[in-house]
Chains A and B, each alone.
Chain A
């Protein structure tokens, strides 16, 4: 059952990716509608598949890389759907949806055994921590996607190239605003995630902060986004600088997520 939903999700995300990429080449309201509807259907299937799995395992499916990647992709699509509805930026989908699809395919290529839950993991603090962390990561992913779009559009404006992609991309200010919105959602989420994570750490191993690689890198991520937010609010960092920083932040997030295993759980 979970598998069926999963296959359906991959198929729907695949179709949505094709539709969103086609949106870059053609202007057609029908095509846009198809893209958003396919993605919404895919998101629903993904959500059902995750809930079904969670129900079967009796915990959130975040215990191994396969499950985590799938969950990451789910939160990204969720965040994208939110921002697309709010700002009417279809082109963002051409950048974000393929990424989420790739994560999902990578996830399905991993055949890890669902891990036996060690007692340390079985704490509500852990689930709370993980859920918030993924939501903040999703916001940062959107911010990075918009950042890339911003840099492309800025390039076109500075080089005075007014091609088809220039016409498609949203205005600089819209993208900057989305980026800022992502930051104001993502940063508090990350902060609470880190705090709840350290509470969990205290409960599990008796120390709030153990300076393992995961925790250290999480702190690095927090500092990057704190700097970005601070710069924005006080000095008025925006535009190109903000875009580049949010892309760097996302690379570090990805690196931490893929490369840094938790000393407590692993």
Chain B
């Protein structure tokens, strides 16, 4: 049995193409159903996110299976095959397994290490399980992918650091102020980055927001949005000591906060540290503010530096992740290859024969005056019994040759008769969310 992967992602297709082949999660039953009706496709899972559309399937006919799924992706969306064909990739065997493990572990994401993709695959798998389009192989395969992703997440630092400027600001604030839950943010001026950072701070638990702007209405509007308090620009310095985090991005040509102001504010705060972020160009906050004890000033360049370092760190961690994936592929591939008819029949026969021989030896060695040719007769008797017993399961296996049923039989046989050890990771079987 072979696992195949067909799809396209942000690496191979522009958004105009991706949006055309996307599957809506509300109507996923229909494509799943049609997928299984394709010739030779036994199981199927459809993963559709804004960055990738992929179909995972199992088949006995690799080349045919991949080609049919590619055509299906075009035909289902009423697209000319030629328009999407150059963007599509198809993997089978080890490459397919590696691809899905990498995607689930967020190594193939636009921002390496971002955590959403795992949840998206879990949801997609949830639909496939609900509509019974996934069977024994894809079930095991995706659970394995989830456990690999979990391993990557816990054993590497791939997702542990901030890779956006706004998030880096939050991380930095935590390094100074500790718990943010009783901290107040002040926004000076407006700007996309400032607002984004303010949102991040509120999501991280910050208590309140003050907003000030040259046009007071604008400050009020923004304050409403954040559930905060608007402050007049003329008197914002008087309120500054109430803020623990100051985000500044005005269009002012000169600095609006100088070291003298900072000193006064820190004194008013009884020397509790205050965290300034200056996003404005030209600068809003005099660089000398950083020399004031218990005032910490960072510019957007500093934050950018952190982001760059974190991205570099992620690349390093991604190498560790690839190593983990290499190990896991080997393990899973071993299991997959046991799901073949002929070796299973051979293994089953060997198992029966082993038992037969052992019991026969026991009987004969304890038998004192064994009549002549009795040994031979016993031998043929037991062989005949064994063959009769094995006949039905063997032919059932051979005849169920096509279709998903055979994998189920093989797996059951291997477990029931303990035919060589199968790697069972029971921890994988729980499906989070």
Contacts and interface: CB of A to CB of B under 8 A. Distances in A.
- Bound pair (A, B): yes
Interface of A: 27, 29, 153, 157-158, 160, 162, 166, 169-174, 177, 235-241
A241 B294 CA distance: 10
- Pick from A160, A170, A239 the residue with the most CB of B within 10 Å: A160
A173 B302 contact: no
Interface residues of B, number: 22
B294 A239 contact: yes
Contact of B175 (A153, A236, A238, A239): A153
Classify the secondary structure of B's interface with A.
mixed
Nearest to B154: A29
Contact of B271 (A27, A169, A174, A237): A237
A171 to B, nearest CB: 4
Contact of A173 (B154, B178, B298, B306): B178
Given A162-B309, A239-B293, A239-B294, A157 B175 contact: yes
Interface in B127-168: 154, 157, 160
A110 to B, nearest CB: 41
Contacts of B273: 172-173, 239
Nearest to B269: A236
9 contacts: A27-B160, A157-B175, A160-B302, A160-B305, A169-B175, A170-B178, A172-B176, A174-B178, A239-B294
A241 B157 CA distance: 35
Nearest to B273: A172
A162 B306 contact: yes
A133 B270 CA distance: 31
Nearest to A236: B270
Given A173-B177, A238-B270, A239-B293, 4 more contacts: A172-B176, A173-B273, A237-B271, A240-B293
> Lowest 3 CB-CB distances: which A-B pairs, in order?
A236-B270, A173-B178, A171-B178
Nearest to B293: A240
B175 A160 contact: no
Contacts of B293: 239-241
B296 interface: yes
Given A171-B178, A173-B177, A162 B296 contact: no
B175 to A, nearest CB: 5
